[in-house]
A and B are shown apart, each in its own frame.
Chain A
Amino acid sequence: MLEIDGLIARAGGFRLEGVSLLVGEGECHAVLGPSGSGKSTLLHAVLGTLEVAAGRVRLANEDITTLPVERRRLGYVPQQLGLFPHLSVRDNVLYSARARRVPEPEYRPLLDRLVEITGIGALLDRSIATLSGGERQRVALVRALAANPRLVLLDEPFTALNESLRRELWWLVKDLQRERGLTVMLVTHDLTEAFFLADDITVLIEGRQEQSGDKRTIFRHPASFAVARFLGLKNLFPATITACAEGRIIADCPSLGVTFRLSGEAPAGTPILVGLRPEDVALRDAEHPPREGERVVSGKARIIDLGAEAVMHLETTPGGPVVELTAGWRTLHRFRLEDGQAGVTVALPETEMFWVKAS
C-alpha cells in the first residue's frame, strides 16, 4: 500500500502543493492532469529522484521519503521506456536480478511466468534496436515486474502507440495486475487510459490536488470547474443558487430557462455551473414524455455524423446555449430526427446532474 501524506515538492520554479493519496494493495491509482499539472513532479517524488520539501511517502508501512531510489523496490516504466540499448532483451530483463545479486532459483520462476504471459520468449536474444513499439513496451513491463516491486510506477508508457496496440497492452497490464496483485500508480493525461486501468483517480491541476476518489465519482461528479473542464465536459451552464435546504439546492439557470433541484449545499446567491454529460441527455417527444425529475428544453437540432454514433447539438435559442447529446443512429431514427429540425425536445435528468462553483 502506498500512502502519500501532505507532500510538497519543488522542481525548478514549479511547486506541487500538499498532495495526499492512498493506493490500496493490489489497486491501480491513476494520477491525471494536463501538461504542467505536477504529475511528473509527484512521480519523481515517489521514485526518490526529487527531494521532498514536506510530507511523507510510505510504502507497505515503511517510510521511504528519504530512502535512496535503489532501496525502494519500485518498478518503473517511463514514457520513453528506458530500455538499455546496449544490452539484449535478455540482459535487460535480467538487469535487476544481477544488480541485486539475486540467485537464479529465486528470480527464475517469476521471470519465466512474466515472459510467458507477455509472449516475449522469442525476443530474448534480440537487441533492443530490432524491436517494434509493442515489443518494447512488453520488454519494459517484464523488466520492471521481474524485480518483484512493491509498487509499479507507469509514466504514460503507452502514449507513442497506435490505438489498437494501446488497448492490447492495457489488457495485458490489467491481466498482470490481477494475476500478480500489483499495486500500480499510473501517471497519464489520457482519460480513457486512466478510466480503463485505474480503480481510483487523482486529478492534479497547476500543482494542486483538485480531486481524488473512485473513478465513477470523478467521472460523474467533478469537484471543481477545473476538473470538469479537464474531463472535457461539454454541457456546463451558468446558474445561481436561489435557495438551499436539507442538503439540496435550487439553482436558477436563466440561459436554459430552467430551475434545477440538485443535491449539495451552498449559500443562496452563489454563482455556479450546472452540468450534465452528453450521454445522459435524453430525447423526448409525445410518445416518450418527460419523467419525474427531468427538466426539458427545446430548440433546433444540428446532427453531426460520427460514423457509429451521432452527436446532436440542440440550439435552445439562436446564438444561445447549446445542449450536446450523444446518441446511436437507431435512437435518432426512432425519434425521426433530421439535421436542422426545429422544436426538438431533450430532457435533463436532475439525478445525473452535477454542479460546481463558478471560478
Chain B
Amino acid sequence: MRGCCAKGLRASIVAALMVLALYVGLIVSLFWFLDPATLKQTLLSERTVFSVKLSLMAATLATVLALLLAIPAAYALSRYRFPGREAAETVLEFPIIVSPAALGAIILIFFNNPLGAWIQENIVYFVFGFAGIVLAQFVTVLGLAVRMLKAAFDEVPVELETVARTLGASPRHGFFTVTLPLAKSGLIAAFILTWAKALGEFGATLMVAGSMAMRTETLPIAIFMKLSSADIEGTVALILVLVTIGLTALFTARRILGRAVHA
C-alpha cells in the first residue's frame, strides 16, 4: 500500500515537472533565433517603446475599470440571492467559451448597430482607437475579475459582517473595515492576474482596434505583425519583452500574496 502511494506521489511530481519543462522548453527554444543585435535594436526602437507603453496603459486602465465594476458585482453574487443571479454567474464564463476574436467581432458588430453608432458619435469613438483597445481588454477580462473576486469574498464569513453591524457599523463601513481588508489577498491576485491577461490580449483587440503601427499596436499585435512580415528575430525579441513583463507581474503577485498570507 505504502509502495503504491509512493509511486503515485512520484508520478504526480513527474507530472508537475513536465508542466514546468513544457513552458520553460518553449521559452528556451526562442533563444535559437535570438540575435543580440536585433534584440537591442528592437528594444530601443521607437515602435517597440510605443507598443510597450500602449500595452501597459491600456491593460492598467482596462483592469482598473474592470475591478471598479467587478468588486460590487462579485460582492453581490457572493452575498445576495436575487433574480438573474444564476444567469449572471453563467455569463461570467462567456469570454472563456467564446474565443477572443469572436468577442471582438461581437463588439465591432455592436458599434455598427444604431445604439453603438450613437455611442461612438456622442460619447467615445472606440473602433480603431485607444478606447477600442481598452474596451476589448475590459470585456475579455471582466468575467475573470468577477469570478476571482467572488471567490475572495466567499472566503470572508458573512458572520463577521453581521457582528460588525451589531457593533454599530453601517453595511458600507463594515465592507470597508472588515470585508475588503480580509479579501485583500484575493483582490491583489485578481488585479495582477486580470492585468496580465489584459496585457496579453490579442484577438478582441485586433478585431476592435485593428493593427495600425504607432496607433493601436499593442505588444501582442506587434508580435503578430513582426511574424507576418517573417521577421523571426524581431518576433523573438518582442516575445521576450512580453514574457518578461508578464512573469515579473506574476512573481510580484506571488510575493505579495505570500506576504499577505503570512502577515
Partner of A74, one of B160, B166, B170: B166
Partner of B162, one of A47, A84, A85: A47
**A105 CB within 8 Å of chain B:** no
CA distance A86 to B171 in the complex (A): 18
**B165 CB within 8 Å of chain A:** yes
- Chain A residues 76 to 109 lying within 8 A of chain B, measured CB to CB, are 76, 78, 80, 82, 84-86, 95-96, 99-100
**B114 CB within 8 Å of chain A:** no
Chain A proximity of B133: nearest CB distance (Å):
37
Known: A70-B168, A70-B170. A76 touches B163 (CB 8 A): yes
Number of residue pairs across A and B with beta carbons under 8 Å? 63
Closest to A71 in B: B168
* Chain B interface residue count, Cβ-Cβ cutoff 8 angstroms: 18
CA distance A144 to B165 in the complex (A): 11
- Decide if A100 touches B178 in the complex (CB within 8 Å): no
Please indicate the chain B residues that have their CB under 8 angstroms from the CB of A47 in the complex.
162, 166
Known: A69-B166, A147-B168. A84 touches B173 (CB 8 A): no
Partner of B159, one of A80, A144, A153: A80
Chain B proximity of A122: nearest CB distance (Å):
23
CA distance A74 to B166 in the complex (A): 6
Please indicate the chain A residues that have their CB under 8 angstroms from the CB of B170 in the complex.
70, 99
**B157 CB within 8 Å of chain A:** yes
**B169 CB within 8 Å of chain A:** yes
Please indicate the chain B residues that have their CB under 8 angstroms from the CB of A69 in the complex.
162, 165-166
Partner of B168, one of A78, A85, A96, A153: A96
Please indicate the chain B residues that have their CB under 8 angstroms from the CB of A70 in the complex.
165-171
**B25 CB within 8 Å of chain A:** no
CA distance A144 to B162 in the complex (A): 12
Against A, the Cβ 8 Å flags (1 = close, 0 = not) of B153-184 are 00001011011111111110100011001100
Please indicate the chain A residues that have their CB under 8 angstroms from the CB of B162 in the complex.
47, 49, 69, 76, 78, 82
Please indicate the chain A residues that have their CB under 8 angstroms from the CB of B164 in the complex.
84, 95, 99
- Decide if A95 touches B166 in the complex (CB within 8 Å): no
- Decide if A99 touches B167 in the complex (CB within 8 Å): yes
CA distance A84 to B182 in the complex (A): 9
CA distance A80 to B157 in the complex (A): 10
- Decide if A86 touches B168 in the complex (CB within 8 Å): no
Chain B proximity of A151: nearest CB distance (Å):
10
CA distance A80 to B160 in the complex (A): 10
Closest to A149 in B: B166
**A143 CB within 8 Å of chain B:** yes
- Decide if B166 touches A76 in the complex (CB within 8 Å): yes
CA distance A199 to B163 in the complex (A): 26
- Chain B residues 124 to 176 lying within 8 A of chain A, measured CB to CB, are 157, 159-160, 162-171, 173
Known: A78-B159, A80-B159, A84-B160. A99 touches B173 (CB 8 A): yes
- Decide if A82 touches B181 in the complex (CB within 8 Å): no
- Decide if A96 touches B181 in the complex (CB within 8 Å): no
**A136 CB within 8 Å of chain B:** no
**A222 CB within 8 Å of chain B:** no
CA distance A187 to B170 in the complex (A): 25
CA distance A149 to B182 in the complex (A): 26
Chain B proximity of A164: nearest CB distance (Å):
27
- Chain B residues 169 to 211 lying within 8 A of chain A, measured CB to CB, are 169-171, 173, 177-178, 181-182
Chain B proximity of A100: nearest CB distance (Å):
4
**A72 CB within 8 Å of chain B:** yes
**A75 CB within 8 Å of chain B:** yes
CA distance A159 to B162 in the complex (A): 20
Most chain B CB neighbours (cut-off 10 Å) among A82, A85, A144: A82
Against B, the Cβ 8 Å flags (1 = close, 0 = not) of A26-70 are 000000000000000000000101000000000000000000111
20 more CB-based (< 8 A) A-B contacts, given A70-B170, A78-B162, A80-B159: A69-B165, A70-B166, A70-B167, A76-B163, A78-B159, A82-B157, A82-B162, A82-B163, A84-B164, A84-B178, A84-B182, A86-B178, A95-B177, A96-B168, A99-B167, A99-B168, A99-B169, A99-B170, A144-B167, A153-B166
State the B residues within 8 Å of A (CB).
Answer: 157, 159-160, 162-171, 173, 177-178, 181-182
Q: Can you pick out 20 interface pairs between chain A and chain B where the beta carbons lie within 8 Å of each other?
A: A68-B165, A69-B165, A70-B165, A70-B168, A70-B171, A76-B163, A78-B159, A80-B157, A80-B159, A82-B162, A84-B164, A84-B178, A84-B182, A95-B164, A96-B168, A99-B173, A143-B167, A144-B167, A147-B167, A149-B166
Query: What are the 3 A-B residue pairs with the smallest beta carbon separation, nearest first?
Result: A82-B163, A96-B167, A69-B165
